[in-house]
Amino acid sequence: MGRRIIISGGGTGGHIFPAIAIANALKRLAPDTELLFVGANGRMEMDKVPAAGYAIVGLDIQGINRKSWWKNLTLPFKLYKSITKAKQIVRDFKPDVAVGVGGYASGPLLHTAAQLGVPCLIQEQNSYAGITNKRLANQVAKICVAFDGMERFFPKGKILFTGNPIRRESVNVRNKRFEAIELLSLSPNKKTILLTGGSLGARTLNACMLIGLDKLAAADIQLVWQCGEYYYDELKQAIGNRYDDRVRLKAFLHRMDLAYAAADVIIARAGAGTIAELCAVGKPVILVPSPNVAEDHQTKNAQALVDKEAALMVRDVEAPDKLIGTALDLLNNRAICDTLKTNIKQLAVLDADEVIAREVLKLAEQKRVSK
């Protein structure tokens, strides 16, 4: 009989893609594994997980709204309702292990699973641990991390350095530049910037590119611009057809491998999943951390790379004035590009998904032996 594993969490691509990567690794290592995802109703995972071929159940849960306190008034009721539903899910599915990847649903599900005697593992993607994972730390058996120094948040004996799971198909860029140039209709003779604002897009990055297009055009630079579906129509209208020969505006990039392969310099937010992919790709990177995240963890993620001379960082508030100039300077400085490429590649962890999956299977085996 196959092992039964629950994977819980989501909210953004930074949580969902690692979760799916772990699920895929579990199926590779133990094909008879039964998997169930638990997410938050109305969030990305409710679409992305079924698209990856896995079943998912939704909890009616939300995070703390830091901008509008009155929107938090229903939170205790939603939390109680989610814990009640989580108990039913755990009792019905009877998992051997519960895995949490962060996000709204992760807290109620893992807390409930631990209370019901299910071994739990959490995967903390960031260099600054999230509130949910910090609260769960004493209830779980293993804590998989991707940055050094995480013992300041978690019991040292539970920590296992694994790196962050990545979408393997997205970072396989070797020998794909010609294919990328062809598919994206780029010139092979021009330098290329890839700007990616993550799965939802990034307002600051989009605004910086919009005001910087003339500078990029004057420098004969071409741009692959992943702006996010929410911003696409507005930007398409603002740009018109003035830059058709050098700007490829995309709501979403379905072939990230080709976008990465085409790039000479990459501009991105500093989510942990994005950073894990960028390390594997090994291109010069400028990180613009989002200020709209808990505990400013993206700045801490970015600083961890800057300290190792593996990336450049431009703060969000400074980006309108500095980002385009920083990108142009980097494109024209081969020595710095070479240093960044060498150092960021050394931080790549390519098999984090399988390392974590093996830990999950180990916990499942220990549970069955102890019965």
Calpha distance 144→125 (Å, rounded): 8
Q: Look at the chain and count its residues.
A: 371
The answer to whether 66 is annotated as binding is no
The answer to whether 130 is annotated as binding is no
The answer to whether 126 is annotated as binding is yes
Residue 10 near residue 57 (C-beta atoms within 8 A): no
Residue 140 near residue 161 (C-beta atoms within 8 A): no
Calpha distance 141→48 (Å, rounded): 28
Q: Which helix (H) or strand (E) holds 34?
A: strand 34-40
The answer to whether 167 is annotated as binding is yes
Residue 236 near residue 210 (C-beta atoms within 8 A): no
The answer to whether 342 is annotated as binding is no
Per DSSP, the residues of 208-234 read: HHHHHHHHHHHTT-EEEEE--HHHHHH
Specify the long-range contacts of residues 93-97, CB closer than 8 Å, at least 24 apart. Answer: 93/4, 93/6, 93/36, 94/4, 95/4, 95/5, 95/6, 95/36, 96/3, 96/4, 96/5, 96/363, 96/364, 96/367, 96/368, 97/3, 97/5, 97/6, 97/121, 97/360, 97/363, 97/364, 97/367
Binding residues for UDP-N-acetyl-alpha-D-glucosamine: 12-14, 126, 167, 199, 298
Binding residues: 12-14, 126, 167, 199, 298
